[in-house]
Chain A
Amino acid sequence: MADLPREPFDETDDAERFDNYLDALISGERPSPDDVASGEEASMARTAAELAAAASVAHAGVQGADPDPAFVEQLRLRMRQADAGIASVQVQLPVHTKPAISPTSAPTDVTRIRISRRALLQAGAGAAVGLAAGTLGLAALRPTPTQRPLGGDAPLVKGQGFWQSVASVAAVPPGSAVRFTTASFAGYVVNDAGQIRALSSVCTHMGCTLYFRPDWKDLRCPCHGASFDLQGQLANGRDTWKQTGGYFGDATAYPVSLPALVRPSVKIENGQIYVWTAQI
Chain B
Amino acid sequence: MATSPDPPSGPAADTAPSPGRFEEIYDAHVVPIYRFIYARVGNAPDAEDLTAQVFMRAVEQLDTTRDMGQIVSWLYRVSQNAIADYWRAFYRLPVIGADQMGAGWEPADTAMTASSAEQPSPTTGGERAKKQVDSLLRRLPANYRRVLELRFIQRLTVAETADQMGITRGNAKVLQYRALRKAALVGEAADG
Contact = CB atoms under 8 A, between A and B. Distances in A.
Given A44-B181, A207-B53, A58 B126 contact: yes
B126 to A, nearest CB: 6
Interface residues of B, number: 87
Majority DSSP secondary structure for residues of B touching A: helix
A15 B169 CA distance: 11
A19 B61 CA distance: 40
A94 B120 CA distance: 55
B101 to A, nearest CB: 9
A279 B30 contact: no
Contacts of A279: 3, 5
B57 interface: yes
A116 B12 CA distance: 12
Contact of A4 (B57, B92, B174): B174
Contact of B60 (A1, A24, A71, A86): A86
A22 B151 contact: yes
Interface residues of A, number: 85
B34 A67 contact: yes
Given A19-B176, A44-B184, A46-B87, A52 B52 contact: no
Nearest to B19: A83
A64 B57 contact: no
Interface string B145-166: 0001001110101100000000
A39 interface: yes
A22 B58 CA distance: 32
A125 B170 CA distance: 67
B139 to A, nearest CB: 12
17 contacts: A4-B143, A23-B157, A39-B94, A40-B184, A44-B183, A46-B91, A51-B136, A76-B23, A79-B22, A79-B26, A83-B22, A117-B17, A121-B6, A146-B88, A207-B52, A207-B56, A259-B85
Interface of B: 1-3, 5-6, 13-15, 17, 22-23, 26, 30-31, 34-35, 38-49, 51-53, 55-61, 63, 78, 81-82, 84-85, 87-94, 102, 104-106, 125-127, 129-130, 132-133, 136, 143, 148, 151-153, 155, 157-158, 167, 170-171, 173-178, 180-181, 183-184, 187-188
